Structure 1
Amino acid sequence: MKKNFLKAFFISLICFILAYIGIGYFILNNGIKSPRGKDSANNKNEILFLLLGIDAQDLTQEKGARTDTMMLVKVNLSTEGVDILSIPRDTRVNIDGRKGRSKINAAHAHGGPELAVKTVRQLLGLELDYYVKVDYKIVEEAVDAIGGVEVEVSQDMYYEDPSADPPLVIDLKEGRQVLDGQKSLQFLRFRKGYKDADLGRIRAQQQFMKAFIEQALRPKNLFKLPRMVPSYYRNVDTNIPMSTLTKMALSARKINTDNINLSTIPGNGKWIDGVSYYIYDENQLNIIVREMFGDYIYDNR
C-alpha cells in the first residue's frame, strides 16, 4: 500500500459538505477570498463536478501526482438528491497528448485537474467544467468536528507500512462502529484485503460517504462546519465560482440523504502487456450516464 492515498469517498462527502455549507456561510459573514474560477451566476439549481483525491502528501506536493480516487458528483437542489459515479483509477482511456491508452489516474499527472476533467468529459460524453481537488488531511479534522461517522466494517482490517510518512498502521475489527477521524482514515486507506480489489474499496468509500453526509447534515453539526474553513483552504482546490458556492451553501441543508444515488463505472480487470487495467463496459456505462447525468450529455450517448 502506498504511503500517499486519497479516498474517493471522503473526498466527495467532505467537499460537498464544506464547499456547500461551511464555506458559503463563512464567506458571507467573514469575507474570505473566493476560490479560483470565473464568478459568474449559475442559473441552474444543480451542479456537476469532478472530485479528485491526489496521490500526494498535500496539495503543495501535488504537481505531477496521479489521482488516487475520482468521483463525478451531481448535486440537484430541486430533487434534493445527489448522484455520485465512482471512476476506478485503473480505467483504460485515451488521454490527450499521450500515445496509446493509459490509466485514467495519469491524466492529472500529465496536465493537472484541467486534463483530468477533459479526460472524464471525453470518456463520458458530458459537459463538465468544474473540479474539487483535496488531500487526505482534511478527513480527520472533518470527521472529528462532527463527532465521528458510524459505518459497518465488513471484515477485520489490518495492515502496517513503516515506510509511510507518517508510519501507517491499520487495525480495525469487523462490525458496526463509530469511527473517529484517525480510524476513518484507516478505514479509507485499507486496500489490500478486499476480494474484488479496488471495487470493494470503492463500495466501502461509498458507504462512508453516505454515512458522513447524513451525520454532517444533522442540525447540531451544521453550526460546527464553518470552523473547518481554514482547513478547507489549506487542503482543497476548486474552480467552482463563488456565486455557485454561495448559492449551494445556502440551500444544501435541503439535501435528502435518502436520495443519494451511488454507482461505479461497470467493467472488469484485465492484464494488457503486463499492466493491470480496468476495462469498462461501454454499453452499460452509456446506460448509467444517461440515467444519472442525462441533462449534461453532449454526444449520442
Structure 2
Amino acid sequence: MKEKKKKRTWLRVIGIVVLFIVLGAGAYAYSIYKSLTNAAETMHHPIDRKMSEKRVEEITLEKQEPFSVLMLGVDEREDDRGRSDSIIVLTINSNQNSVKMLSIPRDTRTEIVGYGKEDKINHAYAFGGIEMAMATVENFLDIPIDYYIQINMEGFKDIVDAVGGITVNNDFDFSYGGVHFPKGEITLNGDKALLFSRMRHEDPRGDAGRQLRQRQIIQAIIKEGASLSSLTNYNQVFNALGNNIKTNLNFNEMVEIQKNYRAAAKKVDQISIEGKGTKIDRIYYLIVPDEEKQRVQDELKGHLEIK
C-alpha cells in the first residue's frame, strides 16, 4: 500500500512544452510535423466542461493572454480511475515572460466540488475524473483553470529517456529503491528519475521535499527538450508523449502556445503552499490556513492579471 502511495510524480506538461519547442525548430520539417500531429491527436482528450465561471471571456491565445494549466500525475490501474497524487498548477504570462509553478500537497483538505464534502484534494479525480479535479482546484485557488494535462506516472520514465536523460541539482543526499542520490549535480535516466521523484519518508521535509524534486524534474525536461539534439530522437519523444499524456489542448492551441508563449518557459518560478498536518477521524490531512491560501491566490491572480 505504501509503495502504491509513493507512485506520485510530477511530470505533467513537460512533454507538451517539449512539443512546443520542437515545433519551433523547423528541422526535418515534414517528418517532424507528421509525427507531431499524430502525437497531438492521440493526446487530445476534450472534456465536457464549459468555460470557467471565473472567466469573463474565453481565453484568446492569439492575443497572448495569461492562462493556467492543471497538471496531474495519475497512477492508472485496470478498472480503476486512480488518484491524482501529483498536482501542479502552472500559470503562464507572456507579458512577463514567466511561468509560476505551484505544487499542491495531495493530502490538502478542501471542498470537493460536486461531491458535497471536504476531503483530500487528490480524491477529486477519483470521485469525478478530470472535470471534478479541475473544479476543485479552481475553487481552492480561486482562479480559473483553463487547460489540463494528465500524465501516466509510470510512463513518464519513457519521456525522460526519450529526451536523453535529465540533470538536476540534488540538495539532499539520500538512497532510495537501491539507488544512491548524492548531493549536488546528478544525471538521471527514466528509472532513476521516477525513484528521485517518489522518495518522501526519508526526507525531513516530507512531502514538501518530494514536491521540490518533482518540480526540478519538470524544469530539467523543459531544458533537455529545448535542446536541438533532442530532434534526432523526435520519433521516440513523440511516441512517449502520445502514449502517456492526455490533454484538452488541441494541436492548433499547442501551435499558438509555442508561437506566443515560448519565451516564458525560460523563467520558471517555483512556489509552494504551507499547512499543518493533523488527523480527523484518524485520517491524516494537511490544513492550509486562510491567510496562506490567500497569499498564494493573490500571487497567482496577479500573474494571470485577474483583478
Query: What range describes the TM-score normalised by the shorter chain of this pair?
Result: 0.7 to 0.9
Q: What does 1:90-109 align with in structure 2 at a 5 Å threshold?
A: 90-109=107-126
- 1:104 and 1:173 map into 2 onto residues whose CA distance is 30
Q: Which amino acid aligns with 1:282?
A: D
Question: Which residue of the partner structure matches residue 278 of structure 2?
Answer: 270
- 2:265 and 2:305 map into 1 onto residues whose CA distance is 25
TM-score norm. by structure 1 comes to: 0.82
Question: Which residue of the partner structure matches residue 282 of structure 1?
Answer: 290
- 2:134 and 2:17 map into 1 onto residues whose CA distance is 18
Moved more, 116-125 or 182-191: 182-191
Contact kept, 8 Å, 1:41 with 1:243, in 2: the verdict is no
Secondary structure at 1:101 match in 2: strand
- 2:82 and 2:273 map into 1 onto residues whose CA distance is 23
Q: Deviations over 1:74-133 (max 9, x none)?
A: 223343321111110000001134343100000000100010000011111112231110
Shift of 1:222: 4.9
5+ residue gaps, structure 1: 160-168
Question: Which residue of the partner structure matches residue 229 of structure 1?
Answer: 238
Secondary structure at 1:141 match in 2: helix
Judged with a 3 Å threshold, the aligned counterparts in structure 2 of structure 1 residues 106 and 139 are, in CA distance, closer, same or farther, namely same
Question: Which residue of the partner structure matches residue 192 of structure 1?
Answer: 201
1:121 to 138, 146, 171: 138
Shift of 1:244: 1.2
Contact kept, 8 Å, 1:14 with 1:139, in 2: the verdict is no
Q: What does 1:4-153 align with in structure 2 at a 5 Å threshold?
A: 5-8=7-10, 10-18=11-19, 20-22=20-22, 28-30=33-35, 31-32=37-38, 34=41, 35-37=44-46, 42-45=61-64, 46-57=66-77, 61=78, 63-153=80-170
- 1:244 and 1:297 map into 2 onto residues whose CA distance is 20
- 1:256 and 1:23 map into 2 onto residues whose CA distance is 14
Secondary structure at 1:147 match in 2: coil
Moved more, 105-114 or 242-251: 242-251
Shift of 1:273: 1.9
1:157 aligned onto 2:147 = no
Q: Which amino acid aligns with 1:201?
A: R
- 2:145 and 2:261 map into 1 onto residues whose CA distance is 21
Q: Which amino acid aligns with 1:218?
A: S
Shift of 1:280: 1.0
Shift of 1:213: 2.0
**What is the total number of aligned residue pairs between the two structures?**
283
Judged with a 3 Å threshold, the aligned counterparts in structure 2 of structure 1 residues 113 and 252 are, in CA distance, closer, same or farther, namely same
Runs of 4+ in structure 1 deviating by more than 6 angstroms, as ranges, are 23-27
Q: Deviations over 1:110-166 (max 9, x none)?
A: 10001000001111111223111011244222222333212233444334xxxxxxx
Contact kept, 8 Å, 1:12 with 1:71, in 2: the verdict is no
Shift of 1:203: 1.4
Secondary structure at 1:6 match in 2: coil
Q: What does 1:241-252 align with in structure 2 at a 5 Å threshold?
A: 241-250=250-259
Q: Which amino acid aligns with 1:51?
A: M
Judged with a 3 Å threshold, the aligned counterparts in structure 2 of structure 1 residues 184 and 139 are, in CA distance, closer, same or farther, namely same
Contact kept, 8 Å, 2:67 with 2:304, in 1: the verdict is no
Secondary structure at 1:292 match in 2: helix
Shift of 1:69: 0.6
Percent of paired sites with the same residue = 27
Q: Which amino acid aligns with 2:156?
A: V
Judged with a 3 Å threshold, the aligned counterparts in structure 2 of structure 1 residues 151 and 97 are, in CA distance, closer, same or farther, namely same
Q: Which amino acid aligns with 1:91?
A: T
Cα root mean square deviation, aligned: 2.9
Judged with a 3 Å threshold, the aligned counterparts in structure 2 of structure 1 residues 256 and 124 are, in CA distance, closer, same or farther, namely closer
Secondary structure at 2:61 match in 1: coil
Moved more, 119-128 or 235-244: 235-244
Question: Which residue of the partner structure matches residue 210 of structure 1?
Answer: 219
